[in-house]
């Protein structure tokens, strides 16, 4: 299982265990074609090595621990984001100290052209 400090842009099939630190934003929109309502949430999640912004359609509980499977990373305007749909409540009640000082989503990334 990976840790947040090991995440890089454009990674796929990521399995993590994280604790939800806070809800950053929640929004509701309509699907372009079907008109169905879509809820999108962004949470700050972390582990002992760092934290990252998680984008998901799942409503999560603050301070709860979740097992994330098959996630992927992307950069949004140069900032790292984690995307996941396969999220389950973990059997772990709480992780050790969450490292919010190493916020992987607060670092502006620049792509190098070779």
pLDDT one-digit tens code per residue, 51-78: 999 999 999 999 999 999 999 999 999 9
* Percent of the chain topping pLDDT 70: 100
Looking at residue 92, its pLDDT comes to 86
pLDDT one-digit tens code per residue, 24-58: 999 998 888 888 899 999 999 999 999 999 999 99
Segments making up each domain of the chain, as ranges: 4-89
Contact in structure between 1 and 16 (CB atoms under 8 Å): yes
Contact in structure between 57 and 29 (CB atoms under 8 Å): no
Half-sphere exposure of 52 (CA within 13 A, CB side): 30
CATH number attached to the domain at 4-89 = 2.40.50.140
pTM of structure? 0.91
Looking at residue 1, its pLDDT comes to 80
């Amino acid at each position: 299982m990976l840790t947040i400090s090991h995440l890089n842009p454009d990674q796929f099939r990521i399995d993590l265990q994280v604790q939800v630190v806070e809800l950053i934003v929640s929004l509701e929109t309509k699907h372009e074609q079907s008109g169905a309502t879509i809820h999108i949430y962004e949470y700050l999640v972390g582990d002992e090595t760092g934290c990252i912004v998680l984008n998901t359609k799942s409503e999560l509980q603050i301070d709860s621990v979740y097992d994330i499977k098959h996630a992927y990373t992307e950069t949004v305007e140069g900032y790292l984001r984690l995307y996941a749909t396969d999220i389950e409540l973990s059997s772990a009640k709480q992780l050790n100290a969450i490292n919010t000082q190493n916020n992987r989503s607060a670092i502006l990334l620049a792509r190098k052209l070779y």
